Amino acid sequence: MLRRLFERDAGSEVEIPTGAPLTDADLKVGLLREIDLFTGLSLDELREISRTLPMTTCQIGGLITSPDEEDERLYIVKRGRVRLYRLTPDGKQLTLDILDKGRIVGRMSWLGQELNEVYAEAIEDAVVCSFTPSELRRLIDRFPGIGLNIIRYLSDRLAASEREREVMAFRSVEQRLAARLMELAERFGQPSGDGVAIDARLTQQELADMIGTSRETLAMTISSLRERGVLEMQNQRVVIHDVEGLRGLSGA
């Protein structure tokens, strides 16, 4: 079961070029501006920050960070999507979150033990930039606004995580699936011919990992929803036909 970790193309580990920047400095500033973490900072400040931040790319399937990693480092996603997941001792996965632009992942002991024990895998080609703990600390001392933004970010993640705990504790697979698809539709939904399409390739195994069930049970649940005309899933794309119906099934 452990091999699933490596099932996608390997050899795409992140290299971290601490020296020369990969890209034009102004492009970097541009990317920084789009990130919520840095709202409220002036252009000059952004420029100053961008000088110290190495940017790295990571191909689809590559691991950005894992519990084996020794370096304490914090990554900010600039492009692409990153899947955060935990691995149980017996090899099952639980996907915690899908991160896109502006969201944070990493482990830093001084920053609590956040995201220890957590893997981060690029599910699209991704660009991330990274800090060391001391860099971040210096940044926050100079620009307290960044501290506030991180607090807001962590609070959001915490609220979502605790909502998830309640869902996992008391709700059936169908309800959990409905709730998760609603969330994905809100974040990645595209209006399509007949309803809302979720703009992400998701195998049934991946969906199952998100709601903590088995692939087989998930397939049965999808079938049932398809028969009732609520949604369709083909070619690893989910299309929701009856959004309101799905919301009702989610039990919220």
Partner DNA sequence: GGGAGTCTGTGAGCCCGCTGACGGAGTCAG
Partner DNA sequence: CTGACTCCGTCAGCGGGCTCACAGACTCCC
- Interface residues with DNA (CB under 7 A) are 7, 172-174, 203-205, 212-217, 219-220, 222-223, 233-236
Tell me which long-range contacts 132-135 makes (C-beta under 8 A, separation of at least 24). 132/71, 132/72, 132/73, 132/74, 133/72, 133/74, 133/108, 133/109, 135/52, 135/53
Going 174 to 179 to 182 to 184, the CA torsion angle's sign is negative
For position 70 contacting its own copies by CB under 8 A, the verdict is no
3-state helix, strand, coil in the chain (%, to 5): 45, 25, 35
The helix/strand/coil state of 84 is strand
Please say which residue, 56 or 93, places its beta carbon nearer to DNA. Answer: 93
For position 165 contacting its own copies by CB under 8 A, the verdict is yes
Q: Which of 79, 212, 226, 241 binds its own copies (CB under 8 A)?
A: 212
Tokens 């034009």, located at residue: 24
Neighbours of 237 (CB within 10 A): 14
Answer yes or no: are the C-beta atoms of 57 and 127 closer than 8 Å.
yes
- Residue 135 interaction partner, one of its own copies, DNA, none, beta carbon < 5-8 Å per kind: none
Please report how the helices 173-188 and 204-211 are oriented relative to each other, as an axis angle in degrees rounded to 10.
Answer: 110
Please say which residue, 31 or 210, places its beta carbon nearer to its own copies. Answer: 210
Q: Which of 112, 203, 228, 248 binds its own copies (CB under 8 A)?
A: 112
Fill in the amino acid letter for 83: R
- Residue 116 interaction partner, one of DNA, its own copies, none, beta carbon < 5-8 Å per kind: its own copies
Q: Which of 5, 53, 153, 215 binds its own copies (CB under 8 A)?
A: 153
Q: Which of 22, 25, 27, 252 binds its own copies (CB under 8 A)?
A: 252
What does the radius of gyration of the chain's CA atoms come to, in whole angstroms? 19
Please say which residue, 7 or 68, places its beta carbon nearer to DNA. Answer: 7
- Residue 112 interaction partner, one of its own copies, DNA, none, beta carbon < 5-8 Å per kind: its own copies
Least gap, CB of 178 to DNA (angstroms): 12
Question: Which residues are at the interface with its own copies (CB under 8 A)?
Answer: 86, 88-89, 92, 94, 96, 108, 110-118, 137, 140-141, 144, 147-148, 150-159, 161-166, 168-170, 212, 251-252
